Amino acid sequence: MPRAHPTMRKIREVLRLVLQENLSRRAASLSLSIPRSSINDYVTRAALAGLSWEQVNELDDTALEARLFHHAPTQTSRPQPDFALVKKEMRKKGVTLSLLWIEYLELHPDGYAYSQFCQLYRTWRGHVDVVMHQDHKAGEKLFVDYPGMTIPIYHADDLTIDFKAELFVAVMGASSYTFALATRSQQLEQWINAHVATFEFLGGCSEIIVPDNLRSGVTKANRYEPDLNATYQEMAEHYNVVIIPARPYKPRDKAKVEVAVQIAERWIIARLRHHRFTSLEECNDEIAKLLTLINDKPFRKLEGSRSSLFEEIDKPALQPLPLERYEFATWRRARVSIDYHVSQDRRFYSVPYQLAGEILDVRTSANVVEVFAKNKRVASHKRSYAKAFYVTDPAHMPESHRRHLEWTPSRILAWAATAGLDVAAFIEALLDSRRHPEQGYRSALGVMRLEKKYSASRLNAACARALAIKSLSYKSVESILKNGLDQQPVRSEPPRAHVVHHNVRGPNYYE
């Protein structure tokens, strides 16, 4: 038997691995150290020549070379598959080319072999509009992004520009069904609310969201493990979706939304360039009308439109919306101060005192402030909007602090009266001198404890002296007792003599 030509031997091995062993072209390329482009060329030639592996195996090298390289592919009378239908069916979950080939043979028993069927489909797909090149499963992926262009919003009175609205764009992977919404900015709250509006527009939730590496959604971009914003992650959990950001510098990861963004720029932003919107609501009303036109526009090379394809493929595969709409909330890390409170918007909220000094997660919504330690909620408070206000749960306080909290002005005055009338009068004046009586509790308790070190009579005398000189503080009473001034009479100062001088005008001057 004559020795086979080395090149033809490799070509034959390529066809064996791909057609007989069903090895991927990538794997065949690695196995034989042949460029993938060459692998594609050999397999395509075999498919166009109508050759199965069994036929290849029966031909010698000369005949095989003639069939592959020297003759144009002959026309075949075999029934052609409806590859537009194949493409549509491939988007449905669980549907494979193998299954569609079996169904094709059921209708056409004399049809193509599986390898030829697959190769012809790939060749057909290469000639379809680029929008349809990627394979996306029904209801699986939702791509989101902002275009670079904006829409100006004007003041109603003088038609000067108030701000430039951003256009949020979302597109379903399988049907290319598109949604757009004008937002005030790309900040976190607008970003999250735009996602919520998208799910409500679709009437369900996709399995995966693919955003670009926008700062509002991705805190730190990374090819393998990007860090997601905590609020964005919480929103995803609420809607039971997974966020897989596009890899940096990998445009193919977001090709679907790039096309949708281009369409939005041309068919929304450019179409609205002559309008003078004075509110986001007015702008979004016009955008909704244009979205209907975009989604209902027929495809050029496939049957149907984005709307019809969405109703047929994507919508039945979407997850249902949760019963409640997501409530926007922000997350931040905060250290607990020594008074077992965390600061949020210049207000202070208590946590269990044992957590003083720890760094905890604080979740803030419009109505509630929640604090989490190691993903466990340890405190929940109604959000306060008062300035520099403390919100304290007594259960978070140590026992000694709770006992102090039980004191009231009337109880303190009643206790002070047991030590003497002068003590009671001083304590009452002390509490009245404070803007809030609670601010004088600590000083009042300190004064009353001086009775243990000194006597009740000396404390009364010291309080009477402090009242006389209008020095209403604990330190003043303590100083009087420490220096024995309580045992000396209080000197009353004589009234000052009226000074007569030519520089003193007197009240009559102003009459």
* Residue 76 falls inside a structural domain: no
> Per mean pLDDT, which range of 77-86, 480-489, 497-506 is the poorest?
497-506
End position of a domain, from candidates 317, 342, 376: 317
Same domain (yes/no): 115, 246: no
Contact indicator for 241, 205 with CB cutoff of 8 Å: yes
Rounded to two decimals, the pTM is 0.55
pLDDT, mean of residues 188-204: 94
Same domain (yes/no): 172, 302: yes
Q: What's the rounded Cα separation, in Å, for the pair 264 and 295?
A: 11
Give the pLDDT score at 283: 95
Same domain (yes/no): 100, 226: no
Give the pLDDT score at 281: 94
Q: What's the rounded Cα separation, in Å, for the pair 25 and 91?
A: 22
Domains contained in the chain, number? 5
Q: Smallest Cα–Cα separation from 180: which of 260, 254, 276?
A: 260
Query: Would you say residue 363 has pLDDT above 90?
Result: yes
Contact indicator for 428, 412 with CB cutoff of 8 Å: no
Give the pLDDT score at 443: 81
Give the pLDDT score at 109: 81
Same domain (yes/no): 38, 58: yes
Give the pLDDT score at 373: 92
Q: Smallest Cα–Cα separation from 319: which of 192, 154, 202?
A: 202
Most confident of 63-72, 159-168, 426-435: 159-168
Structure tokens at 498: 């009226």
Strand spans (E) along 296-455: 330-335, 341-344, 347-350, 359-364, 368-373, 376-382, 390-391
Same domain (yes/no): 154, 197: yes
Contact indicator for 15, 56 with CB cutoff of 8 Å: yes
Same domain (yes/no): 105, 12: no
> Per mean pLDDT, which range of 68-72, 259-263, 392-396 is the poorest?
68-72
DSSP state of 133: -
Query: Would you say residue 497 has pLDDT above 70?
Result: no
pLDDT category at 126 given cuts 50, 70, 90 is low
Give the pLDDT score at 407: 65
Sole residue written with tokens 């072999």: 113
Q: What's the rounded Cα separation, in Å, for the pair 111 and 106?
A: 9
| Host domain of residue 98 | 83-127
Domain with residue 276: its CATH number is: 3.30.420.10
To 10 degrees, the CA torsion angle through 84, 86, 87, 91? 140
Q: What's the rounded Cα separation, in Å, for the pair 383 and 388?
A: 13
Give the pLDDT score at 253: 54
End position of a domain, from candidates 317, 350, 372: 317
* Residue 322 falls inside a structural domain: no
Give the pLDDT score at 508: 57
Same domain (yes/no): 291, 426: no
* Residue 211 falls inside a structural domain: yes
* Residue 78 falls inside a structural domain: no
Three-state secondary structure call for residue 48: helix
* Residue 362 falls inside a structural domain: yes
pLDDT, mean of residues 332-358: 88
Same domain (yes/no): 62, 88: no
* Residue 481 falls inside a structural domain: yes
Give the pLDDT score at 26: 83
Say what angle helices 36-48 and 25-32 make with each other, to 10 degrees.
120
Q: How far is CA 344 from CA 189, 383, 384, in A?
A: 18, 10, 10
Write the CB contacts of 381 (distance below 8 Å, at least 6 apart in sequence). 349, 350, 368, 369, 370, 391, 393
Q: How far is CA 366 from CA 17, 117, 328, 372, 385, in A?
A: 62, 58, 8, 17, 10
Query: Would you say residue 74 has pLDDT above 80?
Result: no
Query: Would you say residue 402 has pLDDT above 70?
Result: no
Q: What's the rounded Cα separation, in Å, for the pair 281 and 279?
A: 5
* Residue 479 falls inside a structural domain: yes
Other beta carbons within 10 Å of 351: 24
Greater model confidence, 61 or 210? 210
* Residue 495 falls inside a structural domain: no
Same domain (yes/no): 161, 306: yes
Q: How far is CA 334 from CA 120, 373, 470, in A?
A: 60, 11, 43
Greater model confidence, 25 or 133? 25
Query: Would you say residue 504 has pLDDT above 60?
Result: no
Same domain (yes/no): 112, 204: no
Burial of 117-136, coded b for 16+ CB within 10 Å and e otherwise, reads bbbbbbeeeeebeebbeeeb
Single-letter amino acid code for the residue at 185: S
Instruction: Pinpoint the alpha helices (H) of 33-176.
Output: 36-48, 53-58, 61-65, 83-90, 97-107, 114-125
Indicate if the alpha-carbon torsion angle 376, 379, 383, 384 is positive or negative. negative
Same domain (yes/no): 151, 240: yes
One-character DSSP codes across 367-392: SEEEEEETTEEEEEEEPP-STT-EE-
pLDDT category at 130 given cuts 50, 70, 90 is very low
Structure tokens at 407: 């004191």
Count of residues for the chain? 511
pLDDT category at 135 given cuts 50, 70, 90 is low
> Per mean pLDDT, which range of 6-10, 22-26, 315-319, 486-490 is the poorest?
6-10
Same domain (yes/no): 250, 198: yes
Greater model confidence, 252 or 255? 255
pLDDT, mean of residues 3-11: 64
pLDDT, mean of residues 25-37: 81
